[in-house]
Amino acid sequence: MIRSLWISLSLLFISSPVLAQTPLCDGLSGEAQKTAKSVMDTSFPYDCCDKSISECLKSAPTCKLPVRLANEVCRLAGNGKSVQDIKHSLDQRAMAMSTMKPPVKIDMKPEHVWGNPEAKVVLSVYLCARCPYCSRHVPKLIKMLENSPIKDKVAVNLRLFPIKSHENSTPAALGVEAAAKLGKAWPYLLKSYENFDTYTKNKMTEWAVELGMDEQQYAALLQDAAVRQGVVESKKEGLVNSVESTPTFFINGRKIQGLFDAESIMSMLEEALGM
């Protein structure tokens, strides 16, 4: 009886390989588990351990980065990403988090900042107020930050980058910049994203009033040359910094590329904070 039970258990572990590395990874099965294992067996952290991610996780004590990367790999694998896509994402992450590449210059005005203006970690985001992808992912990221322990340790720097192919991108950008002059850039932007599908130029002033801005003052700012110049300068800066699409993120002046969503950005912010 005992021998039969031991054989059954042995066969179970042989036929069903377990990653046994992080709770997120252990929750995978089937193709997602195979994908994650393939990536972690052949990919290496860019800091703190010279072995594969899988081998680093077995080391004692385990440093933070392999665990963080393993969770990222397993999350992407669970979302159906391929081995090639995940490896490319890891490579791009390594480039973004490396201190070897000099950071680019990004203007940071107090009225454009969400979070702690004095924070050592600055997440700059070039966005278009009429970008459908931005409308889904930027509010999600802000909501995650609001409910995170790192809320007061990060500054999110809003940079306007209207895209011509997005209808009404310029007037929408002017609307955000006008709100910024009244100290309401982020509340206004998030409200415009919340009502993304019902946008009209007339709605802009309505949203401003709902957020406590003076209607006449806001309307005047929409026509202000300084407001337009602010948008123009932000767009020019983005072009200099090789921004091609929105949203484009920079952590402390270093561009983030790859399969990055709100969860990935949060992971990298925590890494930058040494958490």
Q: Where are the domains of the chain?
A: 2-97, 110-256
Give the domain 110-256 fold.
Answer: Glutaredoxin (3.40.30)
**Would you place residue 175 in the very low, low, confident or very high pLDDT band (cuts 50, 70, 90)?**
very high
Rounded to an integer, what distance in angstroms lies between the CA atom of residue 70 and that of residue 56?
Answer: 10
- Residue whose tokens read 């590329």: 257
Please determine, for residue 2, whether its predicted confidence score (pLDDT) is greater than 50.
Answer: no
Rounded to an integer, what distance in angstroms lies between the CA atom of residue 256 and that of residue 4?
Answer: 53
Please give the C-alpha separations between residue 5 and each of 20, 41, 129, 186, 228, in angstroms, as whole numbers. Answer: 22, 31, 62, 61, 75
Please determine, for residue 272, whether its predicted confidence score (pLDDT) is greater than 60.
Answer: yes
Tens digits of per-residue pLDDT, 10-58? 333 333 344 446 888 989 999 999 999 999 999 999 888 999 999 999 8
Average pLDDT over residues 175-195: 98
What pLDDT score does 6 carry?
39
What pLDDT score does 93 carry?
87
pTM flag (> 0.85): no
Query: pLDDT > 90: what percent of the chain?
Result: 77
What pLDDT score does 237 carry?
98
What pLDDT score does 16 carry?
37
What pLDDT score does 20 carry?
46
Average pLDDT over residues 150-165: 97
What mean pLDDT, rounded, does the chain reach? 89
**Would you place residue 259 in the very low, low, confident or very high pLDDT band (cuts 50, 70, 90)?**
low
* Across 2-11, 15-24, 133-142, 144-153, least confident range: 2-11
Tens digits of per-residue pLDDT, 208-219? 999 999 999 999
What pLDDT score does 258 carry?
67
Query: pLDDT > 70: what percent of the chain?
Result: 91
